[in-house]
Amino acid sequence: DAGVTQSPTHLIKTRGQQVTLRCSPKSGHDTVSWYQQALGQGPQFIFQYYEEEERQRGNFPDRFSGHQFPNYSSELNVNALLLGDSALYLCASSLFLTGYLNTEAFFGQGTRLTVV
C-alpha cells in the first residue's frame, strides 16, 4: 500500500502564475482534504472533496479551487499566486462513513510551494 502520494514534492513559481498540485489517496479511501501549512504554523484546512464535490471549505479565497476525479484522486489549483501562498501543501485521505466521523486521516508528504 503506497499510502497517500503527492506530486510534485517541490515547486517554484512566480507571482501571478497558476499552480496545480496532485494527490492520490490511500487505497480504499474516498475522501480527500487539503491543508496549507505555512512555515512555523499548524496546517490550515482548505477544503474537502467527497464524491467529486467540494463538501467543506475553510477560510481561503476563490483563487484556491480543487477537483476530485472518479478514481478519488484530487487536484488543488491556485491562481494568481501571491508570495504569501508559499507553504507546504498537505493532502489527507480518509474513508467517509455515513452519519459518523470519517475514519482516521492519512497525510501525504506534502508539496513545498515557493512563490518568488
- Sites of contact with another protein (CB under 8 A): 4, 33, 35, 40-45, 48, 50, 55-56, 58, 90, 92, 96, 98-102, 104-110, 112
Which CB, 40 or 84, lies closer to another protein? Answer: 40
Comparing CA positions, the residue from 77, 110, 109, 108 lying closest to residue 94 is: 108
For the bound state, the minimum distance from the C-beta of residue 92 to another protein, rounded and expressed in Å, comes to 8
For the bound state, the minimum distance from the C-beta of residue 51 to another protein, rounded and expressed in Å, comes to 11
For the bound state, the minimum distance from the C-beta of residue 42 to another protein, rounded and expressed in Å, comes to 4
Q: Whats the size of the chain, residue-wise?
A: 116
